[in-house]
């Protein structure tokens, strides 16, 4: 359980990190909080030749509220976003979901962008990004491109990021006033990855529903004018439309059942705080 | 930008339990191994080495963290606290440690250093922590002996003692 050898590069700016990643390509990995990557390295599931540490870069620690979004740069830790007193009113769904990410001990180190880069299908942050019209800002050298979250996640731990690109930041759309939000999750132990997690946003014209832990990527569905008495039928149809599979943790049928039950909880919570 | 090569040992300067410390480490050396093997601070225990069990939890710049998921070279300039820092003097226990003894909150003691570091950090920052909050923090640790109840009892007891000490100060 010791990682393979690697060169360690300590970066003072995001520009430096981009430069090393662009030059080294798939032999290099960004080191941020390390809460997923270092575990994978200890198990030798990842053996990068170069680790590029972005945490010492002050410009990677920014959180910016701009154009109706919250823009979170590469070195922002989960705990520091959770401690932001503005988060509860700006983005109540994100504030509701972050305490479900790992444990206090891992949130103190783990980053928002790192969880997005890791792209675990059961993780809460990728689910929140998909539910909240999130975008991933990728950088190759000085060139940037912005990818919608739903296009960024391609499969289990597989993303649209090229080997010579890095995630500079991610953006979450602010939750509009009057929109109700809800979240429900089930896992075997507190802090474990979810078996199924459901997030809901209810506005007067639209119900948005997002599911993690079933498909290989976060799944998002919008319904126009869904009335509460139709929730159960809509959730049942949605549960069957997903690609639920059985594994060591749960059967496909159990996962569909969790979508129905947790989905109903998340919708109920979102409706109760919608205006 | 500084590049530390894989094949060499590099100096790491940091603060360990309030005192300046330094040592050398290859980039791949985990903080847990650096503390135990290079610094000789063997109070920190190493369990699963992939961030699940919590035995290796230390404080990095005031926040509880897994030392097995951090590299020694990352802590350049940081303040590290380990379980060795808790006792106020030789042969004396901290309030939290004393509560652990009183409530039998440990048996084999393997997970204890990590749990003490998490709970000590919690009680230092949230003196009003209740059982639910203590369980939330404890969820990041595995203990196979106690069933956790005595640990929660010890933490609640310590929290009350610390509050009384503050009130009477």
Task: Report whether B80 contacts B16 (CB < 8 A).
Answer: yes
| Overall residue count recorded for chain A in this entry | 275
Residue pLDDT, tens place only, A7-62: 999 999 999 999 999 999 889 999 999 999 999 999 999 999 999 999 999 999 99
CB contact under 8 A, A34 and B71: yes
CATH code, B141? 1.10.150.120
Domain boundary among B61, B85, B109: B85
A59-173 maps to which CATH number? 3.30.465.10
**Residue A225: its pLDDT value, please?**
84
State whether residue A3 sits within 8 Å of chain B by CB.
yes
Characterize the bridge pairing of strands B79-81 and B10-16. Answer: parallel
Task: Report whether B133 contacts B101 (CB < 8 A).
Answer: no
Asked: is A7-53 a CATH 3.40.1110.10 domain? The reply is no
Q: Residue A68: CA atoms inside 13 Å, Cβ hemisphere, count?
A: 7
Residue pLDDT, tens place only, B35-78: 999 999 999 999 999 999 999 999 999 999 999 999 999 999 99
Q: How far is B144 from chain A (nearest CA, A)?
A: 15
Query: Which residues lie across from B1 on neighbouring strands?
Result: none
Residue A27's Cβ-count burial label (10 Å; 0-12, 13-18, 19+) is middle
Of B3, B4, B69, the CB nearest to A35: B69
Query: Would you list which residues of chain B are within 8 Å, Cβ to Cβ, of chain A?
Result: 1-7, 26-28, 30, 33, 48-51, 54, 57, 60, 63-66, 68-71, 73-74, 76, 118, 122, 136-137, 139-140
This model of the complex carries an ipTM of 0.95
Distance CA A219, CA A121 (A): 10
Whether the predicted pLDDT of A275 surpasses 90 = no
**Residue A274: its pLDDT value, please?**
85
Estimate to the nearest angstrom the gap between the alpha carbon of A122 and the chain centroid: 9
Interval A260-266 mean pLDDT: 98
CB contact under 8 A, A35 and B5: no
CATH of A180-273, one of 3.30.390.50, 3.90.1200.10, 2.40.37.20, 3.10.110.10: 3.30.390.50
CB contact under 8 A, A7 and B5: yes
Q: How far is A178 from chain B (nearest CA, A)?
A: 30
Whether the predicted pLDDT of A143 surpasses 90 = yes
Interval A76-83 mean pLDDT: 97
Task: Report whether A215 contacts A275 (CB < 8 A).
Answer: no
Interval A161-174 mean pLDDT: 97
Domain boundary among B26, B58, B85: B85
Interval A151-175 mean pLDDT: 97
Phi and psi angles of residue B105, each rounded to the nearest 5 degrees, phi first:
-85, 10
Residues ≥6 apart with Cβ < 8 Å to B97 = B86, B87, B116
- Diameter over CA atoms, chain B: 56
Residue pLDDT, tens place only, A198-212: 999 999 889 999 999
Same domain, B77 and B52: yes
Same domain, B19 and B50: yes
Residues of B in contact with A106 (CB under 8 A): 51, 66, 69, 140
Whether the predicted pLDDT of B139 surpasses 90 = yes
Q: How far is B99 from chain A (nearest CA, A)?
A: 22
Helix (H/G/I), strand (E/B), else coil: B163 = helix
**Residue B169: its pLDDT value, please?**
79
Domain boundary among B85, B111, B137: B85
């Amino acid at each position: 359980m010791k990682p393979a050898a690697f060169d360690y590069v300590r970066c003072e700016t995001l520009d430096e990190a981009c430069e090393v990643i662009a030059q080294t390509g798939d032999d290099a990995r960004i080191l941020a909080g390390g809460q997923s990557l270092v575990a994978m390295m200890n198990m030798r599931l990842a053996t990068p030749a170069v680790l590029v540490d972005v945490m010492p870069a002050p410009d990677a620690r920014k959180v910016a509220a701009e154009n109706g979004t919250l823009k979170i740069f590469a070195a922002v830790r989960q705990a520091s976003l959770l401690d932001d007193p503005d988060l509860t009113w700006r983005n109540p769904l994100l504030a509701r979901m972050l305490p479900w990410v790992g444990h206090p001990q891992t949130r103190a180190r783990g980053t928002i962008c790192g969880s997005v880069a890791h792209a675990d299908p059961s993780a809460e942050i990728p689910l929140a990004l998909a539910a909240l019209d999130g975008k991933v800002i990728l950088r190759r050298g000085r060139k940037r491109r912005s990818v919608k979250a739903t296009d960024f996640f391609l499969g289990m731990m597989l993303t649209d990021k090229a080997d010579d690109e890095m995630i500079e930041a991610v953006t979450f759309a602010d939750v509009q006033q009057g929109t109700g939000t809800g979240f429900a999750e089930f896992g075997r132990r507190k802090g474990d990855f979810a078996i199924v997690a459901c997030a809901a946003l209810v506005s007067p014209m639209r119900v948005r529903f997002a599911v993690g832990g079933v498909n290989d990527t976060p799944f998002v569905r919008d319904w126009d004018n869904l009335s509460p008495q139709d929730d159960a039928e809509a959730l049942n149809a949605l549960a069957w439309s997903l690609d639920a599979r059985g594994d060591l943790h749960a059967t496909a049928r159990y996962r569909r059942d969790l979508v129905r039950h947790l989905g109903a909880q998340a919708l109920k919570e979102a409706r109760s705080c919608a205006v | 930008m500084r590049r530390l090569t894989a094949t060499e040992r590099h100096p790491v300067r940091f603060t360990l339990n309030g005192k300046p410390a330094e040592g050398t480490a290859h980039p791949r050396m985990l903080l847990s191994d650096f503390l135990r093997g290079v610094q000789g601070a063997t109070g920190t225990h190493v369990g699963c080495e992939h961030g699940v069990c919590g035995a290796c939890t230390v404080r990095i710049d005031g926040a509880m963290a897994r030392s097995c998921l951090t590299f020694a070279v990352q802590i350049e300039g940081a303040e590290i606290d380990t379980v060795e820092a808790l006792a106020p003097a030789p042969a004396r226990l901290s309030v939290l440690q004393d509560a652990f003894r009183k409530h039998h909150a440990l048996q084999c003691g393997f997970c204890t250093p990590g749990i003490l570091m998490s709970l000590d950090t919690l009680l230092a920052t949230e003196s009003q922590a209740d059982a639910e909050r203590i369980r939330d923090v404890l969820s990041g640790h595995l203990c196979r002996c106690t069933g956790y109840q005595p640990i929660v009892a010890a933490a609640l007891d310590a929290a009350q003692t610390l509050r009384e000490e503050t009130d009477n100060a």
